[in-house]
Amino acid sequence: MSINDTNQIPVFSSRDILAKYDIDSKISSYLDQVFLFNQKVNIVSRETSREGLDKIAAECLAPLELGIDIKGKIFDIGSGGGFPSIVLMLARP
């Protein structure tokens, strides 16, 4: 597969994915809190912008875009700012 073969490589738009799964703005509120708290305690890279957090959250939701339905429990073993488990939980309570 060639890197230029767009039929094989899914292209994700962070904005579109978040709009699709963040209907009640819970994910957006969570990301706002992570961004503010990260200024005091380094839970994600200090260089991560708010837009960067959107991208991270959208990447966490990528399995849903690929048709993988998250069912049952999610076990988070310390993945930093709660990614991907909290984002998935907010998208699929």
Q: What are the pLDDT digits (tens) for 22-49?
A: 999 999 999 999 999 999 988 888 899 9
Average pLDDT over residues 63-82: 79
pTM for this entry? 0.79
For the chain, the structural domain boundaries read 14-91
Q: Element (H or E) spanning 90, and its range?
A: helix 85-91
The answer to whether residues 22 and 90 touch, using CB atoms and an 8 Å cutoff, is yes
How far, in whole angstroms, is CA 83 from its chain's centroid? Answer: 7
And the tokens for 2?
């060639």
For 57, counting Cβ atoms within 10 Å of its Cβ (0-12 exposed, 13-18 middle, 19+ buried), the class is: buried
